[in-house]
Chains A and B, each alone.
Chain A
C-alpha cells in the first residue's frame, strides 16, 4: 500500500549509458515531481507535472526527460549519463499546486562509473 514508489532503488551504470527511473503514486494526486539530492545533500526540484503537462523545467540538462504515461506515473529518462549525474533522485506527488503537501518516494540511488 505504498503511496509513492520508485524503481529501481539502486542503479549502478557506466558513463554514456541511457537509463530510466520509474515512479508511481496511488494517492490520486494531480501533480508529480522529480527532485535531485546531490553530494552536498541539497534537495532540488528538477521537474513537475500537473495533469500530464510539464509545469516547470528547472535548468537541468536536456539529457534528462520526464515522461508521464498517465496521471499516476512520472518516469525520468536520462541519456548519455555522466559522472556528475550520480545522486539520489526522489519522486514526489501532491494533490495540486500551491499550498499542497508533497509526499515523497523512497529515492533511487544512481551511481555512474
Chain B
C-alpha cells in the first residue's frame, strides 16, 4: 500500500527549461513534506521541504507547491541544469505521534537534463 506515489519513473528535460516533478499521497495525516535528491552510490540529500500550513516554499531555483485538497505536491526546478540529473524522492511525515514513524518515501523519479 503506497502512501506516497511518484507515478513518473523518469523525466527528460532540456537544459534551461523548467523541470516539474509530481508526487501524490493518500494519508491525510501527513503534514510535512520533503524532497530529496539522490546520485548513484550516494545517500539522499535534502533539497527542500514544506509544512502543510503553507502551499508554497521557494529556495533559489527550487520551489515546492502543496495542494492539500488534491493531496498533491510538486517540485519545480528552473532553470534546469545538467547537475540536476539525479533521482528525486518525495517524502512525507505525520506530526501526530510525534513524527516517530520516520519518513514515508515515494519510489523516485529519475530526472535527466539534456544539453
Contact = CB atoms under 8 A, between A and B. Distances in A.
* A and B together in one complex: yes
Contacts, number: 63
B70 to A, nearest CB: 21
B20 to A, nearest CB: 21
Given A42-B107, A107-B41, A99 B31 contact: yes
B93 A99 contact: yes
- Contact-residue bracket for chain B: 20 to 34
Contacts of B29: none
B102 interface: yes
**SS class of chain B's interface: helix, strand, loop or mixed?**
loop
B44 A99 contact: no
- Contact-residue bracket for chain A: 20 to 34
Interface stretch (B11-19, B45-53, B74-82): B45-53
Interface of B: 31-32, 34, 36, 41-46, 49, 51, 89, 93, 95, 98-105, 107-108
